[in-house]
Structure 1
Amino acid sequence: MRWQRFFRRKQADLELQQEIELYLEEEIDANIARGMDKDEARRRAHLKFGSVNRVREEVWRASSFLWIEHMWRDLRYVLRKLISAPSSALTVMLSLGIGIAANALVFSGVDKIALQGPPVGDPAKLMSVYPTDQHGQRAQLVYADVFESLQGQLKSFSDVAAFTSHIQVALTGRGEPRRAWGQSVTQNYFDVTQVPMTLGRGFGRRDVYSPVIVLSYDLWRVYFNADDGVIGKTVFLSGKPFTVIGVAKPKFRGTLQMQVADFWIPLSQQASLGFLQETDSELVNVIARFAPGADRATAQAELNAVSQRLAIAFPTEMQERQLRCEQAGSLPAEAWVHIAAFVAAVMGIALLVLAIAVSNVTNLQLSRAMARHREMAIRIALGGTRWQLIQPMLLESLVLSFGGGAVGVGASVLAMRALTYFHMPVDLPIDLTLNISTVVLWYAFGLSVVAGMLCGLGPALAATRPSVPNALKGESSLEKPGRRWAMRDVLVMVQIAATMVLLCTTSLYLHSLLKLTNGDTGLRMDGVRVLSIDPVHNGYKAEQVPLVLKRVLDGVMAMPQVASAAWTDSTPLSIGMKSKKFHHVGRPGDLGLDPEADVYDVGPGYFATMGIQQLEGRNFNGAGPNAAKQMIVNEAFAHQMFKDRRAVGQYLTPTLQKDASPQTPVSYEIIGVVKNSKSTMMNFEDNPPIVYEALEQNMGTAAPLLGYSLMVHYQGNGAQMANALQAEVHSVDPSLAIFHQKEMAEQVMDSLIIPRAESTIFGVFGLAGLLLATVGLYGVMSYSVERRTKEMGIRLALGATMGQIQSLIVRYGIARTVIALAIGFPLALAASKVAASLQSGITAYDAISFTLTPLFLMLVALVACWIPARRASATDPQSTLRHE
């Protein structure tokens, strides 16, 4: 085989030399035997055989792949040239790397949201089965009895499993109590997902009614210190013992998109934890795996038929509902409506950064191409073909593009680590981490190769078409006398115009973030600490919760450094806030028209702790659940509900669905009005309507999903306060899991996670574009000055002043900058309009952004032009004329 000959060419060459030498010796001996002297015999033998080197070359060529030989030769030549000019190579790789990093970072988010399936066996065959409502919208959950009936009717799926979305528990039994989120699943869950175990096993038929648990790999590694002997040990979930039977493989955290599960227990065991309401326990997520030969079309046809039968068997649960299937772990179509536009906008900005980088690199490559015209002319004069000249230049671009891809991937990894410092303003099992997957790597390096080829192809074609006579005299065909606009000028103007768009968009986001950060929240920020516990999910009965909260509050209030403290069921500026609609007692409610408000259940000291001023009425008096219901409203809700009438003393009742229970909801008396404050994750709504209900009157009716938060106003050191609060809670019950501990100032910053992330991304992109455009403009001006050194010397010799020389060069650069800004301004206006449609609070035509950004770019351009101009004005006329 030729490949075998290719790898043993040196050995074959040695063997060939030995054969040739043996043949020549035999021929020389034969000639001597014929009577010739030794020199003549050798001469005749060599004449008869021919050229030894030619024979060796033909055999070597026959055993070689010439294109590999030529490629390897050109690669060594390219590497030598790049090593000889490291600054130029690094500039190209860094420029491309900045553009690739921006795109890799954005694409990793797209990959996580849309492309990555759950880490299960053969993810393409694992489907999520869900019902749709009468409007065709996805309803994630299926009733448990519907699921049981469904199991025996589907033939397109080899097996069907179910699991609950999330259950929260206090995990004890190893070290400090910890809040954990898990799922209860059917016994065949790990068989359907085909998830192998790191340790132990998954669930089996004998585990259906057993208190057993499978741990996630991360929980096992962090909480159990990667203990290989954990199998068979007992852990406590909300005070109930469970036996560990397995540890799932790394990276498996469940099949729901971006949601994290720390553990799994049998579906039957969720009732033993005692916190799920009866209606919730009847709803499950359903996953199924295709049977051999089945596909989505046949499965959907079967689900359509099954839906009709289920609608007859379960008229209440399946009324006007249709079962659908799609790949497990994918986002619902309605969710994509909200994020697709934003993702497209960010991807467009990232590609704009790459376009600036490509323009910058192309400019640099054009400079190098101009410098090589004489070399190319000599090669052509010696018989070189155009392809022989282009090939090493394209290979050089390919090497630089791979280097740029490596730099970009490395920078994107650092950026992803930096994004981990952004925290959600609430303790929920949401995974926001980004990572470099194989798909992202292929995308990054593929994009870098395309960008590198685009950067190198034009300069390569231009460099290999020189006018040989002119090039041999040192003249470049890319710079004809009298030409006012060169390709390099056009590329720089593209960079500046694109940077104008980037910086204006960045300025809009930064301006909006600044308004949010400096805005008045209506809440006390300094000296307020948050601490959350969840007694219900820690094993306490509902009637025990008030006593636990009172004991903790009394202990905290006894601390000398504590000014005030109060419990609430919702931390301000969080997500997941509950809301209700209200109407006047005695009037019919209308869900479509009645005003809606965020609802907090708070203790009597809440307003003093949070610095919310009371305007009218009185505070809660600690009345129990059997007393008349009371509420306090803020100004915004009072005005929305009563206009100019007095709110105190009025009675309201929540607006419910027609079939809701109870049919006659309880009425609330408004006993006070307080000042406005921010409520949920900080947005641009100045005065959201808020209703405060008495925590003592509602405690035990329903366990809050996120536990109870203790708001503490204190004096002194925050770290010492945190330790004291934790010690006080554990003095009441050492098994209570404490979570969501932070200062209120931290909560404010966490609540700005979305605008902060947007501003950070656009800020980095804008800075990268500005840097690339500045370098590009400076490079063009420096090169222009270098090419016009003789002209400057002659002008100075003829009497031009240094100021006139500097003015000439600065005008040259500023003129191009002004044209670029004129092109970029309407594009920036269009981009700002798109940004305003995607993000509330952004003003499409912000006067500050569109005034300061062009002025700032002009200042940067002026500096980039003045430095080369100053150098040009220092030219020595005598040296220039002597050289001429």
Structure 2
Amino acid sequence: MRVLLQDLNYAFRQLRKTPGFTVTVLLTLALGIGANSAIFTLVNAIMLHNLPVTDPKTLVRIGDQDDCCVNGGWNDNGDYSLFATDTYYMFKKNLPEFEELAAMESGYAWRPVTVRRAGAQTLAKSVMGTFVSGNYFRVFGLSPAAGRLLVDADDQKGAPVTAVMSYDAWQQDFAGDPSVVGSAFYINTKAATIVGIAPKGFYGDRIDTNPPKYYLPMNSMDQVIGAPYFNDPDLQWAYIIGRVKPGTSLPTLQAKASTLLKQEFAPLKTFTDKRAKEVLPRTHVVLTPGGGGIQNMQDDYKDHLKLLQWIAALVLLVACANIANLLLVRGMSRRAELCIRSALGAQRSRIVRQLLTESVLLSCTGGLLGLAISYLGAHALLALAFPNQQNMPVTASPSPLVIGFAFALSLVTGVLFGLAPALMAARTQPAEALRSNARTTAQGASFLQRALVVLQAALSLVLLVAAGLFAQSLNKAENVDMKLDATNRYIAHINPQAAGYKNTEVEPLYQTIVDSFHAIPGVVKVGLATYTPMEANNWGSGVKIQGQPDLNKGASWVKGTPEYFDSVGTHVVMGRGFTLQDTMNAPPVAVVNQEFVKQFFSGKNPIGHRFGFSGPGQAGLDGAHEIVGVVEDTTYTSVYWKNHAMYFLPLTQRAGSANDTTYHLDEDQSMYAGALVIQTNRPIPGFEKIVGATLASINPNLTIVKFQTFQQQIDDRFTEERLIARLTSLFGLLALLLAAIGLYGVTAYTVVRRTPEIGIRMALGAARGRVIGMVMRGAMLQAVIGLAIGIPVAIFCVRYIKSQLYDITSVNVPVMSVAIGVLVLAAAIASIIPARRAASIDPVQALRIE
């Protein structure tokens, strides 16, 4: 300990004596380690997240897919992760290997609820609510923050509606008022009692950008939100998670659950079709760890987060190469000191330990600074990744795991990149202290130093090329002609069902909404639809053209009002759009897009043809809808979804099969508009308040679920791409800066060591230009070698990221040319400074060094 304290004290003194070196190393390390720790914070918060529940390791999910939200039909591969109510109860009864099984709504994000506390002057508010089984909180082993949690008695048919409020909603909306527990609320106009508050820090069974604020028993689902699928054995809507008993064999349990599911599916209407019977033997489930909850967001972000980890690691490698170079230069400059220490009897191991102490001290200090940078960086990353999200269950605060990661990274950096310079510096002979170093060091930098600069240049080029490709991909994606017009257009998401409207009441409601908004000065078009083009929503069905063989193809569909196409900027190219005459009781019609015509009619005129749903239980031959028009291929959901066949139906007409005897109007969820699209002739300040007031004047329970401009909705679809493009550009520039510093350092070091040689050359008549050229040639040669290595590496690496690029499959000439040009320019700037310094050497002063 005494020797260690001596080494630390000496190391502090040495670092204080060279503030320039110390600051450069600390900043380099802080940036490298900070970038990695910031990315790891995000990875830890999203990918490695465990639910704040009791013993998460024993939780197991039945399923492994990101399925959502209400599905019918069969899967060709037979892999199921979403289940009907009857299937959940069957598993619960027949799988005693689980202590308990809980079910939860898969698609709550698409079904917000309208909540109002009972009492005068209280306002209705649209929030996220989810429906769960009565044992939901018990399965997770949770205790309430106040009151009680849901129990089995709450989850019975005919039971009074109860709800549990999230801790955040209790604090943010009611300031932690204890009287909330036991008080009466109206949820979708239905009376409900708040029985308790969920524990602090619990955001539900998954990470979500907008977690639920209310938890309701699933048996109240149909009553509260009108969900006829809850009682339909052919429609899957629920995720299932359970806690397995100790000693349970998961492979055996998985095989048993798969067998039970086949038996459950066999008598269903879905599997009466010939094709369905063929895929039934493939029916199975995959059991996955449930401690992290439902992995929907993790599945969406995993590819981009892995990419960011690799990019951050490359930046750290460039930073470490810089540190190694700096330590090598420092070690060489201290050769005389080390020779004298050796001559005075210092052992080589003692010298190596001293130098290692300095490097580890530097790296640990840099790691602490890096942790501070990572904290700020993680906040910036979260803001970029999840803009405008206030209740994200992801924190940027460093967890013990992140702190441990940063410390381990610092320690490895210090030992790994301090060891080689320490060993080289300690391998000096005492006799060298008595000699002049001028002649023996005239060769300049060592091969290792130059190799590190070459490595930095190569890695920097790879990162610059990646940054260029992602920037180009984002630019291409954002500038695709989506056949949309976002100018002076606003979108207000609404939920008429939550406001208490029945299916039979929506037609006059929609006309009232249209008339009310047309009365606002400046409003040009008012359209209502089930969903809008770029909100990441999609409804789909099989399609059967009347009089043609079933092609076993499907298409997406949207329902809208007469002004919907104009409101989003979609143009009719053949026939007509919807009119006021296309009412609930009028003959059913449809408008299709050009891709639909291409896929189902081989490009021939489709006007007048009829089609219906195909699939189990669908009388597709009846031709439910007559095609009356064709619209251009407007982009829906994502620009990455190409060849997207779509059809559009009037909002209040039924969808599917005209002769379906099982159809009930009061169960048709597609009658409800999900969005209101308003076109104005100019930007209107404070338009959200105007929209809210107009809806409230129609019905106080008709609230805005979400309000945004159409351009904001489009921009939101590129959030991840924008994050990757910005971070790769930032990391690429950071790596370039570090590489330039490394090249400058080695070149400046070479000039210092070759000062006598350069002085002699100039004394013998060498011109300044020749000296500059000589120094720059040596520096640029390292950059060129780095380019020679980096170019093929960059071309090779594109194959691993092309799936994340839009319409880019290889490195193109412009991106590569810009990356090479930027790197060459940085190398030239980094080398010209020491080159000019070399050319200004006074020959007389240089010769005196001898």
TM bin (shorter chain):
0.7 to 0.9
Q: 1:270 aligns with which of 221, 224, 242?
A: 221
Q: 1:849 aligns with which of 807, 815, 824?
A: 815
1:544 aligned partner:
505
Q: Secondary structure at the match of 1:572?
A: coil
Q: 1:140 aligns with which of 76, 81, 100?
A: 81
Looking at structure 2, the residues matched to 879 and 425 of structure 1 have their Cα atoms a distance apart, in angstroms, of 61
> CA 1:619 to 1:88, structure 2 compared with 1: closer, same or farther past 3 Å?
same
The answer as to 2:585 corresponding to 1:585 is: no
Matches within 5 A, 1:332-731: 344-422=306-384, 436-473=398-435, 475=437, 480-482=441-443, 486-591=447-552, 594=553, 596-622=554-580, 623-647=582-606, 649-657=607-615, 659-662=616-619, 664=621, 666-683=623-640, 685=642, 688-698=644-654, 702-703=668-669, 708-731=674-697
User: Which residue type is aligned with residue 80 of structure 1?
Assistant: R
> CA 1:758 to 1:697, structure 2 compared with 1: closer, same or farther past 3 Å?
same
Give the paired residue count.
807
Q: Secondary structure at the match of 1:278?
A: helix
Looking at structure 1, the residues matched to 389 and 538 of structure 2 have their Cα atoms a distance apart, in angstroms, of 13
Matches within 5 A, 1:161-200: 161-167=102-108, 168-173=112-117, 177-200=124-147
> CA 1:535 to 1:332, structure 2 compared with 1: closer, same or farther past 3 Å?
closer
Looking at structure 2, the residues matched to 752 and 75 of structure 1 have their Cα atoms a distance apart, in angstroms, of 50
> CA 1:873 to 1:705, structure 2 compared with 1: closer, same or farther past 3 Å?
farther
2:247 aligned partner:
295
Cα shift at 1:359: 0.4
Cα shift at 1:514: 1.1
> Once the two structures are superposed, what CA deviation does each residue of 1:463-492 show, in whole Å capped at 9, x if it has no partner?
111122224446399x75547853211101
1:20 aligned partner:
none
In structure 2, stretches of 5+ residues that fail to align are 66-73, 272-279, 656-664
User: Which residue type is aligned with residue 114 of structure 2?
Assistant: A
1:89 aligned partner:
22
Looking at structure 2, the residues matched to 640 and 219 of structure 1 have their Cα atoms a distance apart, in angstroms, of 48
Cα shift at 1:546: 2.6
> CA 1:529 to 1:324, structure 2 compared with 1: closer, same or farther past 3 Å?
closer
> CA 1:738 to 1:395, structure 2 compared with 1: closer, same or farther past 3 Å?
same
> CA 1:665 to 1:118, structure 2 compared with 1: closer, same or farther past 3 Å?
farther
Q: Secondary structure at the match of 2:128?
A: strand
> Structure 1 residues 791-800 or 281-290, which shifts more?
281-290
Looking at structure 2, the residues matched to 206 and 219 of structure 1 have their Cα atoms a distance apart, in angstroms, of 24
Looking at structure 2, the residues matched to 97 and 706 of structure 1 have their Cα atoms a distance apart, in angstroms, of 54
> Structure 1 residues 329-338 or 578-587, which shifts more?
329-338
Looking at structure 2, the residues matched to 122 and 104 of structure 1 have their Cα atoms a distance apart, in angstroms, of 27
CA contact (8 A) 1:166 1:181 kept: no
> CA 1:92 to 1:129, structure 2 compared with 1: closer, same or farther past 3 Å?
same
Looking at structure 1, the residues matched to 809 and 255 of structure 2 have their Cα atoms a distance apart, in angstroms, of 47
Among all aligned residue pairs of Structure 1 and Structure 2, give the percentage whose two residues are the same amino acid.
Answer: 28
> Once the two structures are superposed, what CA deviation does each residue of 1:213-271 show, in whole Å capped at 9, x if it has no partner?
21222222222233344222223211123222222222212223547332212233223
2:729 aligned partner:
763
Looking at structure 1, the residues matched to 480 and 124 of structure 2 have their Cα atoms a distance apart, in angstroms, of 37
> CA 1:527 to 1:817, structure 2 compared with 1: closer, same or farther past 3 Å?
same
Q: Secondary structure at the match of 1:537?
A: coil
Looking at structure 2, the residues matched to 72 and 197 of structure 1 have their Cα atoms a distance apart, in angstroms, of 51
CA contact (8 A) 1:128 1:327 kept: yes
Looking at structure 1, the residues matched to 64 and 727 of structure 2 have their Cα atoms a distance apart, in angstroms, of 37
Cα shift at 1:140: 2.0
Cα shift at 1:662: 4.5
User: Which residue type is aligned with residue 239 of structure 2?
Assistant: N
CA contact (8 A) 1:425 1:573 kept: no
Q: 1:285 aligns with which of 236, 239, 242?
A: 239
User: Which residue type is aligned with residue 586 of structure 2?
Assistant: A
Q: Secondary structure at the match of 1:249?
A: coil
Cα shift at 1:324: 5.1
1:118 aligned partner:
51
1:32 aligned partner:
none
Cα shift at 1:841: 1.7
> Structure 1 residues 663-672 or 460-469, which shifts more?
663-672
> Once the two structures are superposed, what CA deviation does each residue of 1:307-362 show, in whole Å capped at 9, x if it has no partner?
65676677536965556533215588999998766554443322211111110111
CA contact (8 A) 2:547 2:621 kept: no
Q: 2:184 aligns with which of 217, 223, 234?
A: 234
> Once the two structures are superposed, what CA deviation does each residue of 1:402-461 show, in whole Å capped at 9, x if it has no partner?
233233333333333223444779999986776643323322321222122211111111
Q: 2:196 aligns with which of 228, 231, 246?
A: 246
Looking at structure 2, the residues matched to 410 and 334 of structure 1 have their Cα atoms a distance apart, in angstroms, of 30
> CA 1:98 to 1:565, structure 2 compared with 1: closer, same or farther past 3 Å?
same
> CA 1:530 to 1:755, structure 2 compared with 1: closer, same or farther past 3 Å?
same
User: Which residue type is aligned with residue 201 of structure 1?
Assistant: R
> Once the two structures are superposed, what CA deviation does each residue of 1:62-108 show, in whole Å capped at 9, x if it has no partner?
xxxxxx22222222222233334343223222222332233334434
Q: TM-score, normalised by structure 1?
A: 0.84
User: Which residue type is aligned with residue 286 of structure 1?
Assistant: I
1:9 aligned partner:
none
Cα shift at 1:499: 0.7
Q: Secondary structure at the match of 2:614?
A: coil
Matches within 5 A, 1:55-66: none
> CA 1:269 to 1:130, structure 2 compared with 1: closer, same or farther past 3 Å?
same
> CA 1:193 to 1:78, structure 2 compared with 1: closer, same or farther past 3 Å?
same
Cα shift at 1:866: 0.8
User: Which residue type is aligned with residue 676 of structure 1?
Assistant: D
Looking at structure 2, the residues matched to 582 and 308 of structure 1 have their Cα atoms a distance apart, in angstroms, of 31
Cα shift at 1:498: 0.6
2:31 aligned partner:
98
Q: Secondary structure at the match of 2:134?
A: coil
Cα shift at 1:158: 3.1
> Once the two structures are superposed, what CA deviation does each residue of 1:580-627 show, in whole Å capped at 9, x if it has no partner?
443431123131xx3x44322222112322333333222311211222
> Structure 1 residues 556-565 or 305-314, which shifts more?
305-314
> Structure 1 residues 359-368 or 612-621, which shifts more?
612-621
Q: Secondary structure at the match of 1:719?
A: coil
CA contact (8 A) 1:255 1:329 kept: no
User: Which residue type is aligned with residue 505 of structure 2?
Assistant: Q
CA contact (8 A) 2:80 2:284 kept: no
> CA 1:188 to 1:610, structure 2 compared with 1: closer, same or farther past 3 Å?
closer
2:69 aligned partner:
none
> CA 1:82 to 1:677, structure 2 compared with 1: closer, same or farther past 3 Å?
same
Looking at structure 2, the residues matched to 675 and 311 of structure 1 have their Cα atoms a distance apart, in angstroms, of 43
In structure 1, stretches of 5+ residues that fail to align are 1-67
User: Which residue type is aligned with residue 222 of structure 1?
Assistant: Q
Q: 1:874 aligns with which of 830, 840, 844?
A: 840
> Once the two structures are superposed, what CA deviation does each residue of 1:276-301 show, in whole Å capped at 9, x if it has no partner?
1234676543332233xx1342x553
CA contact (8 A) 1:789 1:872 kept: yes
Cα shift at 1:541: 1.5
